[in-house]
Structure 1
Amino acid sequence: MLYQKEREHLADVVKKMFDRYETNTAGGNVSVRMNDEHIIMTPTLMSQEHHCDLSPYQTLVVDMDENVVEGDGRITREINMHMACYKLNKEIGCVLHGHALNSMVFATMGMDMPNLTEATQKLGEIKCLDFAPATSEELAEKVRSYIESKGQDAVLNAILLNKHGVLITDKNLTKAYDIMGRLEYNAYIAEKAVLFDKLGIQKIDSKGHDYNLEE
């Protein structure tokens, strides 16, 4: 089996995503760049039909022309969003998309997420993109355009997709999934901090700090 170890890792991560409410039965998909020829990727309906409980062989090997090379399943219609990231920046090694519970509050409201925790400061601004329908070329283009606007060095990105979910890019799957966990904690805190601020209980700290941005 091609890329067996990597496909086992991907299957393990997406099961954790579902169990930890980082995606839901409405969707989500994850891909990892193997080399210049192939990515591995979760199949369509991984959540609705399988609850993200996949065998390694159900994670597909896909070429850059979006053909399945190996694996049991069909390609998700959101592959256009993944390929837009990979073709824009050769250093992007993972694209992770989920419907994460706490982050969905801000995505559904069409709000940028306040970046409040030290663990998320390296993300910078957490933007919510303008709405575009799920799986559409319009959505893929909005993602591509936003990442391009950050410059060619922008490998790490955490983006809210309006009414839809979260998109994270990074160098590899381990790093991207680490960012998902950090983002969800920040979203949980930010939701309450915004309420405290509006209720006059405690204003959100807007002072600059000398954060530790090292991993």
Structure 2
Amino acid sequence: MLYQQERERLAEIVRTMFDRFETNAAGGNVSVRMNDKHIIMTPTLMSQDHLCDISPYQILVVDMDENVIEGDGRLTREINMHMACFKTHKDIGAVIHGHARESMVFATMGMEMPNLTEATQKFGRIPCLDFYPACSPELAEEVKTYVESLGDDVKSKAMLLKQHGVLVLDTTLNRAYDSLERLEYNAYIAYKSMVFDRLGIHNMEVEDYEYNLVE
């Protein structure tokens, strides 16, 4: 079995995502760069059919031409968005796409998420990209264009996909999942803070702090 340890870890991560409401039965997918030839990726219908409870062998080994080398399942159509990230910058080692419950508030509204917590300062801006239908070439191109705009600053980046979900980029799967957790906590805090601000309980302050930027 190719990349057994890495596929076991990816299966564990997606189960955790579902259990923690970081994606839902409507979808989500995760991919990890193994080397210049292969990525590993969750199969289509991972959420709808399996509620993210999948075996390591259901994690697909895929080449850079999107051919399945090993694994039990079919490719998700959203592989185009993942490949857009991997092919745009060599430092991107993992891509997580989910329908995270708290962050979906901002994504559904088409709003940039305020970056309020110390733990998320390394993200910088948390933008909401323009809407394009899920799985479409246009959405993949929108993501590619944004990643290109980051230059070499592609580590620990999070973005919202309007009316769709979240996309997190990082150098490793463990770091990408850590970023997803941080994003969700920030989303929870941000929308509560916005409510407090509008009710006049306390003014919300969004500041850029020069700390906790690299971990």
Match of 1:66 in 2: 66
Whole-angstrom CA distance in 2 between matches of 1:114 and 1:153: 19
Whole-angstrom CA distance in 2 between matches of 1:155 and 1:179: 10
Whole-angstrom CA distance in 2 between matches of 1:92 and 1:214: 16
Map Cα deviations across residues 1-51 of structure 1 (whole Å, 9 max, x no partner).
000000000000000000000000000000000000000000000000000
| TM-aligned CA deviation for residue 210 of structure 1 | 4.5
Match of 2:124 in 1: 124
| TM-aligned CA deviation for residue 207 of structure 1 | 4.4
| TM-aligned CA deviation for residue 199 of structure 1 | 1.3
Map Cα deviations across residues 86-142 of structure 1 (whole Å, 9 max, x no partner).
000011000100000000000000000000000000000100001000000000000
Whole-angstrom CA distance in 2 between matches of 1:139 and 1:127: 15
Partner SS for 1:187: helix
Match of 2:16 in 1: 16
Map Cα deviations across residues 40-88 of structure 1 (whole Å, 9 max, x no partner).
0000000000000010000000000000000000000000000000000
Q: Once superposed, what is the RMSD of the aligned Cα atoms?
A: 1.0
Give ranges in structure 1 of 5+ residues lacking alignment. Answer: none
Match of 1:160 in 2: 160
Match of 1:180 in 2: 180
Partner SS for 2:39: strand
Whole-angstrom CA distance in 2 between matches of 1:178 and 1:14: 13
Whole-angstrom CA distance in 2 between matches of 1:163 and 1:122: 25
Instruction: Number of aligned residue pairs: give it.
Output: 215
Equivalent residues of 1:81, 1:139 under 8 A apart? yes
State TM-score, norm by structure 1. Answer: 0.98
| TM-aligned CA deviation for residue 206 of structure 1 | 3.4
Whole-angstrom CA distance in 1 between matches of 2:134 and 2:207: 37
Equivalent residues of 2:156, 2:170 under 8 A apart? yes
| TM-aligned CA deviation for residue 209 of structure 1 | 3.9
Which aligned pairs between 1:25-174 and structure 2 lie closer than 5 A? Answer: 25-174=25-174
Instruction: Tell me which amino acid in the other structure corresponds to 1:186.
Output: N
Q: 1:209 to 1:159 in 2, by over 3 A?
A: closer
Partner SS for 1:159: strand
Instruction: Tell me which amino acid in the other structure corresponds to 1:115.
Output: N
Equivalent residues of 1:89, 1:155 under 8 A apart? no
Whole-angstrom CA distance in 1 between matches of 2:106 and 2:3: 36
